[in-house]
Chain A
Amino acid sequence: ETGVTQTPRHLVMGMTNKKSLKCEQHLGHNAMYWYKQSAKKPLELMFVYSLEERVENNSVPSRFSPECPNSSHLFLHLHTLQPEDSALYLCASSQEDTSTNEKLFFGSGTQLSVL
């Protein structure tokens, strides 16, 4: 069983739709992240939550809205997306304040297509 679970695995949406991505980690970590991976580009950090507080918003457009209700769950709410937002969205977690705080555990990702 993967320690980080993401749903849905695949999502197709129109530009006027509203959808949400869900992530749950079972590792007892206290930091969670959203990354975007576009074709032929490096992973881009979108948001970081530490102890349920957002500590970083990496200049992400407001059509992406994160939510972290507790240390185990992370959501990414999507609305009025653009076709260029089509990508693989990856959730990850790590344990802060340890020597391994930069070792990320990723979920399987949501492959998003915006039509």
Chain B
Amino acid sequence: RKEVEQDPGPFNVPEGATVAFNCTYSNSASQSFFWYRQDCRKEPKLLMSVYSSGNEDGRFTAQLNRASQYISLLIRDSKLSDSATYLCVVGRGSTLGRLYFGRGTQLTVWP
């Protein structure tokens, strides 16, 4: 079983739509959780960390469900510039560099 699983998509939504991505992880010992964004032919960039209590950054809301071992990302009022691949990333917290990346979910926002 893969460490981190994501629906690769693609998700195609109109501007202004709300879209949600889920991600599941296999190791219950995982301690840190992130969403990274990767534009086409570019490097991944940290979008936001995911905290147990859930957290929000503008139009983006991330939530963690430890019992079910899944993480979600909600994007409200989608913009054209949100088009990218969103990577779910899970860490063990204790070992340097031990981050597990999902394949990513591709999002295209159309006008």
Q: Are B103 and A42 in contact (CB under 8 A)?
A: yes
Closest to A108 in B: B43
Task: List the B residue with the shortest CB-CB distance to A102.
Answer: B91
Chain A interface size, under 10 / 10 to 19 / 20 to 34 / 35 or more: 20 to 34
- With A31-B97, A48-B96, A56-B97 as contacts: A90 and B103 at CB distance below 8 Å: no
User: Quick check: is A50 within 8 A (CB to CB) of the other chain?
Assistant: yes
With A103-B34, A106-B45, A107-B43 already in contact, the answer to whether A40 and B103 are too (CB < 8 A) is yes
Q: Chain A residues near B32 (CB, 8 Å)?
A: 102
| Pairwise interchain contact A90-B43, C-beta atoms closer than 8 A | yes
- A106: nearest chain-B partner, CB-CB: B43
Contact at B46–A104, with CB atoms within 8 Å?
yes
B101 touches A42 (CB 8 A): yes
Number of A-B residue pairs at CB separation under 8 A: 53
Which of B27-55 touch A at CB < 8 Å? 32, 34, 41-46, 49
Interface digits, A11-45 against B, CB 8 Å rule (1 contact, 0 not)? 00000000000000000000101000000111101
B96 touches A50 (CB 8 A): yes
Is residue A96 within 8 Å, beta carbon to beta carbon, of the partner chain?
yes
Q: Mark A31-69, 1 if CB is under 8 A from B, else 0.
A: 101000000111101001010000110000000000000
Q: Within 8 Å CB of A94, what residues of B?
A: 96-97
Known A42-B102, A106-B43, A108-B42: A33·B49 in contact at CB below 8 Å: no
What are the nearest 6 A-B pairs in CB distance? Answer: A106-B43, A48-B97, A43-B101, A42-B101, A102-B91, A42-B103
Which B residues contact A (CB, under 8 angstroms)?
2, 4, 8, 32, 34, 41-46, 49, 87, 91, 93, 96-104
